[in-house]
Amino acid sequence: MGALHQGHLSLVRQAAAENDRVFVSVYVNPTQFGVNEDLGSYPKTWDKDIAMLRQLSSDLKETSGHEGAIDAIFAPTTKSMYPTLPPDSSLSGTGSFVNITPLGNLLEGKSRPVFFRGVATVCMKLFNIVQPTRVYFGQKDVQQTVIIKRMVRDFHLDTEVRVIPTEREKDDGLAMSSRNVYLGDRRRRVGIVLYQALQAAEAAYRMGMRRREEVLAFAWEVANRTSAAQDEHGVEERARFEVDYISLADPETLEEVHIVNEAKGAVLSGAIKMLPLESVRAGERLGMGGDEVAVRLIDNIVLAPRPT
Ligand SMILES: Nc1ncnc2c1ncn2[C@@H]1O[C@H](COP(=O)(O)OP(=O)(O)OP(=O)(O)O)[C@@H](O)[C@H]1O
Ligand SMILES: CC(C)(CO)[C@@H](O)C(=O)[O-]
Ligand code: BAL
Protein backbone atom coordinates (compact mmCIF):
# COMPACT_ATOMS: atom_id res chain seq x y z
CA MET A 1 0.00 0.00 0.00
CA GLY A 2 2.97 2.34 -0.53
CA ALA A 3 4.52 4.51 2.19
CA LEU A 4 7.42 2.14 1.76
CA HIS A 5 9.91 1.14 4.42
CA GLN A 6 12.64 -1.46 4.76
CA GLY A 7 10.06 -4.20 5.48
CA HIS A 8 8.58 -3.73 2.03
CA LEU A 9 12.03 -3.64 0.43
CA SER A 10 12.95 -6.94 2.06
CA LEU A 11 10.01 -8.55 0.25
CA VAL A 12 11.29 -7.18 -3.06
CA ARG A 13 14.84 -8.33 -2.32
CA GLN A 14 13.65 -11.84 -1.59
CA ALA A 15 11.50 -11.87 -4.71
CA ALA A 16 14.45 -10.71 -6.82
CA ALA A 17 16.63 -13.45 -5.32
CA GLU A 18 14.13 -16.16 -6.20
CA ASN A 19 12.69 -15.05 -9.54
CA ASP A 20 13.72 -13.73 -12.96
CA ARG A 21 11.01 -11.10 -13.06
CA VAL A 22 9.61 -9.00 -10.22
CA PHE A 23 6.42 -6.94 -10.15
CA VAL A 24 5.72 -4.61 -7.24
CA SER A 25 2.16 -3.51 -6.53
CA VAL A 26 1.49 -0.17 -4.90
CA TYR A 27 -2.20 0.26 -4.23
CA VAL A 28 -4.12 1.56 -1.23
CA ASN A 29 -7.09 -0.75 -1.37
CA PRO A 30 -10.27 0.99 -0.16
CA THR A 31 -12.31 -2.13 0.61
CA GLN A 32 -10.01 -3.27 3.42
CA PHE A 33 -10.55 -0.05 5.37
CA GLY A 34 -13.68 0.07 7.51
CA VAL A 35 -15.88 3.15 7.08
CA ASN A 36 -14.39 4.75 10.20
CA GLU A 37 -10.78 3.79 9.51
CA ASP A 38 -7.92 5.87 8.13
CA LEU A 39 -8.31 5.47 4.33
CA GLY A 40 -8.44 9.26 3.88
CA SER A 41 -5.33 9.97 5.91
CA TYR A 42 -3.31 6.83 5.08
CA PRO A 43 0.27 8.01 4.42
CA LYS A 44 1.03 8.51 0.72
CA THR A 45 4.63 9.06 -0.33
CA TRP A 46 4.53 8.17 -4.02
CA ASP A 47 7.65 10.08 -5.18
CA LYS A 48 9.73 8.75 -2.32
CA ASP A 49 8.39 5.22 -2.92
CA ILE A 50 9.41 5.31 -6.57
CA ALA A 51 12.85 6.68 -5.68
CA MET A 52 13.34 3.87 -3.13
CA LEU A 53 12.29 1.22 -5.63
CA ARG A 54 14.52 2.66 -8.37
CA GLN A 55 17.48 2.70 -6.00
CA LEU A 56 16.81 -0.85 -4.83
CA SER A 57 16.42 -2.03 -8.40
CA SER A 58 19.75 -0.59 -9.45
CA ASP A 59 21.50 -1.94 -6.32
CA LEU A 60 20.11 -5.40 -7.02
CA LYS A 61 21.09 -5.13 -10.66
CA GLU A 62 24.68 -4.45 -9.64
CA THR A 63 24.86 -7.34 -7.21
CA SER A 64 22.95 -9.94 -9.23
CA GLY A 65 23.72 -8.78 -12.75
CA HIS A 66 20.05 -9.07 -13.73
CA GLU A 67 18.81 -6.79 -16.50
CA GLY A 68 16.55 -4.91 -14.11
CA ALA A 69 15.70 -6.29 -10.70
CA ILE A 70 12.23 -4.74 -10.66
CA ASP A 71 10.44 -5.20 -13.99
CA ALA A 72 7.37 -3.13 -13.26
CA ILE A 73 5.48 -1.23 -10.62
CA PHE A 74 1.77 -1.88 -10.82
CA ALA A 75 -0.09 1.11 -9.40
CA PRO A 76 -3.63 0.80 -10.68
CA THR A 77 -6.51 3.22 -10.32
CA THR A 78 -9.50 2.17 -8.24
CA LYS A 79 -11.62 2.21 -11.40
CA SER A 80 -9.43 -0.48 -12.93
CA MET A 81 -9.38 -2.58 -9.76
CA TYR A 82 -13.15 -2.23 -9.23
CA PRO A 83 -14.40 -1.98 -12.86
CA THR A 84 -18.14 -2.33 -12.29
CA LEU A 85 -19.48 -1.30 -8.87
CA PRO A 86 -17.57 1.29 -6.83
CA PRO A 87 -15.66 -0.20 -3.87
CA ASP A 88 -17.90 -0.67 -0.84
CA SER A 89 -16.47 -0.85 2.68
CA SER A 90 -19.71 -1.28 4.56
CA LEU A 91 -20.37 -4.55 6.33
CA SER A 92 -23.39 -5.29 4.17
CA GLY A 93 -21.43 -4.04 1.13
CA THR A 94 -22.48 -4.94 -2.39
CA GLY A 95 -19.97 -6.04 -4.98
CA SER A 96 -17.85 -9.09 -5.77
CA PHE A 97 -15.95 -10.21 -2.69
CA VAL A 98 -13.80 -13.08 -1.54
CA ASN A 99 -14.60 -14.11 2.03
CA ILE A 100 -12.35 -16.51 3.90
CA THR A 101 -14.16 -17.62 7.03
CA PRO A 102 -13.90 -18.25 9.91
CA LEU A 103 -10.25 -17.13 9.61
CA GLY A 104 -11.18 -13.62 8.57
CA ASN A 105 -13.45 -13.12 11.58
CA LEU A 106 -10.84 -13.94 14.24
CA LEU A 107 -8.23 -11.68 15.92
CA GLU A 108 -7.77 -8.63 13.65
CA GLY A 109 -11.11 -9.44 12.02
CA LYS A 110 -12.98 -8.92 15.30
CA SER A 111 -11.94 -5.27 15.42
CA ARG A 112 -11.82 -4.78 11.66
CA PRO A 113 -14.83 -6.71 10.34
CA VAL A 114 -14.38 -5.88 6.62
CA PHE A 115 -10.58 -5.97 6.64
CA PHE A 116 -9.87 -9.50 5.44
CA ARG A 117 -12.75 -9.48 2.97
CA GLY A 118 -11.03 -6.47 1.37
CA VAL A 119 -7.57 -8.04 1.56
CA ALA A 120 -8.63 -11.39 0.06
CA THR A 121 -10.62 -9.62 -2.65
CA VAL A 122 -7.82 -7.28 -3.73
CA CYS A 123 -5.23 -10.07 -3.61
CA MET A 124 -7.44 -12.26 -5.81
CA LYS A 125 -7.64 -9.38 -8.28
CA LEU A 126 -3.87 -8.80 -8.18
CA PHE A 127 -3.14 -12.51 -8.60
CA ASN A 128 -5.50 -12.75 -11.57
CA ILE A 129 -4.00 -9.69 -13.26
CA VAL A 130 -0.32 -10.55 -12.71
CA GLN A 131 -0.54 -14.38 -12.56
CA PRO A 132 2.59 -14.59 -10.41
CA THR A 133 4.59 -17.78 -9.90
CA ARG A 134 5.23 -16.62 -6.33
CA VAL A 135 3.74 -13.92 -4.14
CA TYR A 136 5.57 -12.25 -1.23
CA PHE A 137 3.98 -11.24 2.06
CA GLY A 138 5.41 -10.06 5.36
CA GLN A 139 5.29 -12.09 8.57
CA LYS A 140 4.27 -8.94 10.47
CA ASP A 141 0.73 -9.44 9.17
CA VAL A 142 0.57 -13.09 10.19
CA GLN A 143 -3.18 -13.50 9.93
CA GLN A 144 -3.06 -12.08 6.41
CA THR A 145 -0.48 -14.72 5.43
CA VAL A 146 -2.64 -17.53 6.83
CA ILE A 147 -5.69 -16.22 4.98
CA ILE A 148 -3.89 -15.80 1.67
CA LYS A 149 -2.48 -19.32 1.94
CA ARG A 150 -5.98 -20.63 2.64
CA MET A 151 -7.39 -18.67 -0.31
CA VAL A 152 -4.71 -20.07 -2.64
CA ARG A 153 -5.49 -23.59 -1.49
CA ASP A 154 -9.28 -23.36 -1.47
CA PHE A 155 -9.51 -21.62 -4.87
CA HIS A 156 -6.78 -23.78 -6.48
CA LEU A 157 -4.72 -20.73 -7.38
CA ASP A 158 -1.49 -21.54 -9.15
CA THR A 159 0.92 -19.53 -7.05
CA GLU A 160 3.30 -20.12 -4.16
CA VAL A 161 2.90 -17.94 -1.05
CA ARG A 162 6.23 -16.86 0.40
CA VAL A 163 6.35 -15.30 3.87
CA ILE A 164 9.30 -13.02 4.72
CA PRO A 165 10.48 -12.28 8.29
CA THR A 166 9.40 -9.07 10.01
CA GLU A 167 11.87 -6.18 9.61
CA ARG A 168 12.33 -4.36 12.88
CA GLU A 169 13.72 -0.99 13.96
CA LYS A 170 17.39 -1.34 14.93
CA ASP A 171 17.14 0.46 18.29
CA ASP A 172 14.36 -1.45 20.02
CA GLY A 173 12.86 -3.98 17.63
CA LEU A 174 9.56 -2.24 16.89
CA ALA A 175 8.05 -3.91 13.81
CA MET A 176 8.29 -1.56 10.84
CA SER A 177 4.91 -0.44 9.60
CA SER A 178 3.70 2.37 7.37
CA ARG A 179 1.42 3.50 10.17
CA ASN A 180 4.37 4.11 12.52
CA VAL A 181 4.61 7.61 11.02
CA TYR A 182 1.55 8.48 13.10
CA LEU A 183 3.63 7.97 16.26
CA GLY A 184 5.46 10.95 17.71
CA ASP A 185 8.41 10.35 20.03
CA ARG A 186 6.28 9.75 23.12
CA ARG A 187 3.91 7.18 21.64
CA ARG A 188 6.75 5.62 19.65
CA ARG A 189 8.67 4.87 22.88
CA VAL A 190 5.70 3.24 24.60
CA GLY A 191 4.56 1.39 21.45
CA ILE A 192 7.33 -1.17 21.93
CA VAL A 193 5.29 -2.65 24.80
CA LEU A 194 3.53 -5.08 22.47
CA TYR A 195 6.73 -6.67 21.19
CA GLN A 196 8.12 -6.78 24.74
CA ALA A 197 4.98 -8.52 25.96
CA LEU A 198 5.18 -11.11 23.17
CA GLN A 199 8.88 -11.65 23.86
CA ALA A 200 8.12 -12.29 27.54
CA ALA A 201 5.58 -14.95 26.56
CA GLU A 202 8.06 -16.45 24.11
CA ALA A 203 10.64 -16.65 26.90
CA ALA A 204 8.10 -18.51 29.06
CA TYR A 205 7.58 -20.99 26.22
CA ARG A 206 11.31 -21.46 25.87
CA MET A 207 11.55 -22.11 29.61
CA GLY A 208 9.23 -25.05 29.07
CA MET A 209 5.78 -23.64 29.72
CA ARG A 210 3.07 -24.98 27.43
CA ARG A 211 -0.22 -24.03 29.06
CA ARG A 212 -1.99 -21.00 27.71
CA GLU A 213 -2.53 -19.26 31.06
CA GLU A 214 1.11 -19.68 32.04
CA VAL A 215 2.54 -18.46 28.74
CA LEU A 216 0.17 -15.51 28.32
CA ALA A 217 0.51 -14.40 31.94
CA PHE A 218 4.06 -13.29 31.10
CA ALA A 219 2.80 -11.10 28.27
CA TRP A 220 0.00 -9.60 30.37
CA GLU A 221 2.41 -8.85 33.16
CA VAL A 222 4.50 -6.66 30.83
CA ALA A 223 1.43 -4.99 29.31
CA ASN A 224 -0.20 -4.28 32.67
CA ARG A 225 3.01 -3.03 34.28
CA THR A 226 3.69 -0.66 31.39
CA SER A 227 0.12 0.56 31.40
CA ALA A 228 0.18 1.22 35.16
CA ALA A 229 3.47 3.11 34.81
CA GLN A 230 1.91 5.36 32.15
CA ASP A 231 -1.14 5.98 34.33
CA GLU A 232 1.13 7.28 37.07
CA HIS A 233 2.60 9.97 34.80
CA GLY A 234 0.88 13.29 34.18
CA VAL A 235 -0.97 14.01 30.93
CA GLU A 236 2.05 15.79 29.45
CA GLU A 237 4.29 12.80 30.02
CA ARG A 238 2.25 9.74 29.37
CA ALA A 239 1.20 7.78 26.31
CA ARG A 240 -1.69 5.48 27.14
CA PHE A 241 -2.69 2.39 25.24
CA GLU A 242 -5.31 -0.33 25.25
CA VAL A 243 -4.61 -3.97 24.56
CA ASP A 244 -7.03 -5.30 21.95
CA TYR A 245 -5.89 -8.93 22.24
CA ILE A 246 -2.94 -11.14 23.04
CA SER A 247 -3.37 -14.50 21.38
CA LEU A 248 -1.78 -17.91 21.49
CA ALA A 249 -3.13 -19.69 18.46
CA ASP A 250 -2.85 -22.66 16.16
CA PRO A 251 -0.64 -21.73 13.17
CA GLU A 252 -3.12 -23.00 10.56
CA THR A 253 -6.56 -22.31 12.00
CA LEU A 254 -5.64 -19.38 14.26
CA GLU A 255 -8.00 -20.87 16.87
CA GLU A 256 -6.83 -20.21 20.42
CA VAL A 257 -4.92 -23.13 21.92
CA HIS A 258 -5.00 -24.29 25.54
CA ILE A 259 -1.83 -26.28 25.48
CA VAL A 260 0.79 -25.81 22.80
CA ASN A 261 1.35 -28.94 20.76
CA GLU A 262 5.10 -28.98 20.17
CA ALA A 263 4.73 -30.81 16.89
CA LYS A 264 2.72 -27.89 15.51
CA GLY A 265 4.10 -24.91 17.37
CA ALA A 266 1.90 -21.84 17.80
CA VAL A 267 1.57 -18.18 16.92
CA LEU A 268 1.80 -15.55 19.62
CA SER A 269 0.24 -12.37 18.35
CA GLY A 270 -1.27 -9.18 19.62
CA ALA A 271 -2.71 -5.78 18.84
CA ILE A 272 -2.67 -2.60 20.85
CA LYS A 273 -4.25 0.76 20.32
CA MET A 274 -2.02 3.71 21.11
CA LEU A 275 -4.49 6.31 22.34
CA PRO A 276 -4.30 9.97 21.27
CA LEU A 277 -2.06 12.10 23.48
CA GLU A 278 -4.10 13.91 26.10
CA SER A 279 -1.89 16.96 26.14
CA VAL A 280 1.05 18.03 24.01
CA ARG A 281 4.19 19.78 25.31
CA ALA A 282 5.72 22.74 23.51
CA GLY A 283 8.47 21.58 21.18
CA GLU A 284 7.58 17.92 21.48
CA ARG A 285 8.20 15.90 18.29
CA LEU A 286 4.81 14.74 17.06
CA GLY A 287 3.78 12.15 14.52
CA MET A 288 1.75 12.66 11.36
CA GLY A 289 -1.67 14.01 12.37
CA GLY A 290 -0.27 15.51 15.59
CA ASP A 291 -0.79 12.34 17.70
CA GLU A 292 -4.49 13.13 17.77
CA VAL A 293 -5.74 9.83 16.39
CA ALA A 294 -5.52 6.38 17.88
CA VAL A 295 -3.02 4.07 16.16
CA ARG A 296 -3.35 0.33 15.99
CA LEU A 297 -0.10 -1.64 16.22
CA ILE A 298 0.19 -5.37 15.59
CA ASP A 299 3.01 -7.85 15.99
CA ASN A 300 3.64 -11.56 16.40
CA ILE A 301 6.23 -14.20 17.21
CA VAL A 302 6.07 -17.75 15.87
CA LEU A 303 6.75 -20.50 18.38
CA ALA A 304 8.31 -22.91 15.91
CA PRO A 305 7.43 -26.59 16.06
CA ARG A 306 10.05 -28.82 17.65
CA PRO A 307 12.01 -30.69 14.98
CA THR A 308 11.04 -34.37 15.00
N1 LIG B 1 8.10 -4.84 9.06
C2 LIG B 1 7.79 -5.59 8.02
N3 LIG B 1 8.58 -6.62 7.68
C4 LIG B 1 8.27 -7.41 6.62
N5 LIG B 1 7.21 -7.24 5.83
C6 LIG B 1 6.38 -6.22 6.12
C7 LIG B 1 6.62 -5.35 7.23
N8 LIG B 1 5.64 -4.42 7.27
C9 LIG B 1 4.81 -4.70 6.25
N10 LIG B 1 5.24 -5.78 5.57
C11 LIG B 1 4.58 -6.43 4.45
O12 LIG B 1 4.52 -5.59 3.33
C13 LIG B 1 3.34 -5.89 2.57
C14 LIG B 1 2.62 -4.63 2.30
O15 LIG B 1 2.15 -4.12 3.56
P16 LIG B 1 1.48 -2.70 3.76
O17 LIG B 1 1.62 -1.90 2.52
O18 LIG B 1 0.15 -2.84 4.38
O19 LIG B 1 2.47 -2.06 4.81
P20 LIG B 1 2.43 -1.99 6.36
O21 LIG B 1 3.69 -1.41 6.81
O22 LIG B 1 1.98 -3.32 6.87
O23 LIG B 1 1.31 -0.93 6.56
P24 LIG B 1 0.35 -0.73 7.78
O25 LIG B 1 1.09 0.17 8.70
O26 LIG B 1 -0.79 -0.09 7.08
O27 LIG B 1 0.01 -2.06 8.34
C28 LIG B 1 2.53 -6.88 3.42
O29 LIG B 1 2.77 -8.19 2.94
C30 LIG B 1 3.12 -6.69 4.79
O31 LIG B 1 3.01 -7.83 5.62
C1 LIG C 1 -1.97 -7.45 1.15
C2 LIG C 1 -2.29 -5.99 1.00
C3 LIG C 1 -1.32 -5.37 0.01
C4 LIG C 1 -3.67 -5.90 0.37
O5 LIG C 1 -3.98 -4.56 0.11
C6 LIG C 1 -2.30 -5.23 2.32
O7 LIG C 1 -3.23 -5.76 3.22
C8 LIG C 1 -0.95 -5.16 2.91
O9 LIG C 1 -0.23 -4.37 2.29
O10 LIG C 1 -0.59 -5.84 3.86
N1 BAL D 1 -0.64 -4.39 6.33
C2 BAL D 1 -1.98 -4.24 6.73
C3 BAL D 1 -2.75 -3.28 5.92
C4 BAL D 1 -3.82 -2.63 6.72
O5 BAL D 1 -3.71 -2.57 7.96
O6 BAL D 1 -4.79 -2.13 6.17
> What residues line ligand 1, using a CB cutoff of 6 Å?
1, 7-8, 10-11, 137-138, 140-141, 164, 166-167, 175-179
* Band of residue 303 on the pLDDT scale cut at 50, 70, 90: very high
Residue 171 lies in a domain: no
What residues contact residue 213 under an 8 Å CB cut-off, 6+ apart?
A: none
Q: What is the pLDDT of residues 254-299, one digit of tens each?
A: 999 999 999 999 999 999 999 999 999 999 999 999 999 999 999 9
Q: What is the pLDDT of residues 29-71, one digit of tens each?
A: 999 999 999 999 999 999 999 999 999 999 998 887 666 699 9
Å from CA of 2 to ligand 1 middle: 9
- Of 164, 195, 225, which closes a domain? 164
Co-location of 152 and 30 in the same domain:
yes
Co-location of 86 and 21 in the same domain:
yes
Structural domains in the chain (count): 2
Co-location of 150 and 202 in the same domain:
no
Co-location of 143 and 187 in the same domain:
no
- Of 130, 164, 198, which closes a domain? 164
Phi then psi dihedrals of residue 186, to 5 deg: -70, -50
Q: What is the number of the ligand 3 atom nearest to the C-alpha of 138?
A: 1
User: Can 8 be counted among the known catalytic residues?
Assistant: yes
What distance lies between CA 221 and its chain's CA centroid?
24
Co-location of 145 and 216 in the same domain:
no
- Can you give the CATH number for the domain in which 110 is found? 3.40.50.620
Residue 72 lies in a domain: yes
Predicted confidence at residue 63, as pLDDT, reads 84
Residue 292 lies in a domain: yes
Q: What is the pTM of this model?
A: 0.97
Å from CA of 179 to ligand 3 middle: 9
Predicted confidence at residue 68, as pLDDT, reads 67
Residue 175 lies in a domain: no
- Of 137, 164, 191, which closes a domain? 164
Candidate list 8, 66, 156, 258, residue with the active-site label: 8
Domain that residue 44 falls in: 6-164
The DSSP result for the chain, as a single string, is --S--HHHHHHHHHHHHH-S--EEE----GGGS-TTSSTTT----HHHHHHHHHHHHHHHHHHH--S-S--EEE---HHHHS-SSPP--STT--S-----TTGGGSTHHHHSTTHHHHHHHHHHHHHHHH--SEEEEETTSHHHHHHHHHHHHHTT-S-EEEEEPPPB-TTT-PBP-GGGGG--HHHHHHTTHHHHHHHHHHHHHHTT--BHHHHHHHHHHHHHHHHHHHHHS-TTT---EEEEEEEEE-TTT--B-SB--TTT-EEEEEEEEEPPPSS--TTPPP-TTTT-S-EEEEEEEEEPPPP-
Residue 216 lies in a domain: yes
Q: What is the pLDDT of residues 108-135, one digit of tens each?
A: 999 999 999 999 999 999 999 999 999 9
Predicted confidence at residue 66, as pLDDT, reads 64
Q: What is the number of the ligand 3 atom nearest to the C-alpha of 32?
A: 6
